[in-house]
Amino acid sequence: MIALKRRKFRRALGERRYRKLFVIAVEGAVTEPQYFGLFDRETSALCIKCLRSKHSSPKQVLKKMRDHLVREALRKSDEAWLVVDKDNWSDEHLAELYEWSLEKENYGFALSNLKFELWLLLHFEDGKRISSSNNCSNRLKKRLPEYNKKIRKNQFSSEMIEKAILRAKSRDKPQCADWPRKIGTTTVYRLIERMLMVLE
């Protein structure tokens, strides 16, 4: 489980502490929302809102985010992120999401090549020699035999998350400017680092 450092603070009675909001639009309906939900605690300064998409495509993920931001504007201190898998999507599909992420400083784009399970695998191993989507899933199954797209709260410790960040960074060299082209690389760590900064 992710351990949060306790901080002592005082505030006026009746005054609510503002929680930094991360709006995250994802392709998956189960795994990604449950994983990012691990960071959302009512007692912390971080709030996560995952936007799930019925149709798993980058275009639908972007539409979901745009529709949400029309209804609910972000504060300047909040962040909006798109999280997708490379799968077989073309550069043209992904370029639209990347261009969106450049529109504002508090927008972001994270991609796993080939899929989100790669990010989960990096909590356990370095992820080298990933050859296919099935290969990635099979290796994760060895680490989490009961894995069926659902995430349990006690599956990922804060130490494991820190190791996943370091492993992802080491595979993202030289650091990609837009999204990772090489199979076995992910930029999800950039979003996780932004979230952990709030929890420090």
Task: Report the sign of the C-alpha dihedral through residues 78, 94, 149, 138, in that order.
Answer: negative
pLDDT at residue 29, rounded to an integer: 87
pLDDT band (50, 70, 90) for residue 200: confident
pLDDT at residue 7, rounded to an integer: 38
164 near 95, Cβ under 8 Å?
no
CA-based R_g, the chain, Å: 17
pLDDT at residue 17, rounded to an integer: 55
What value does the mean pLDDT take over residues 162-171?
Answer: 97
For residue 109, give the H/E element and its range. strand 107-113
Candidates 114, 148, 119, 155; CA nearest to 132 is 114
What value does the mean pLDDT take over residues 125-154?
Answer: 92
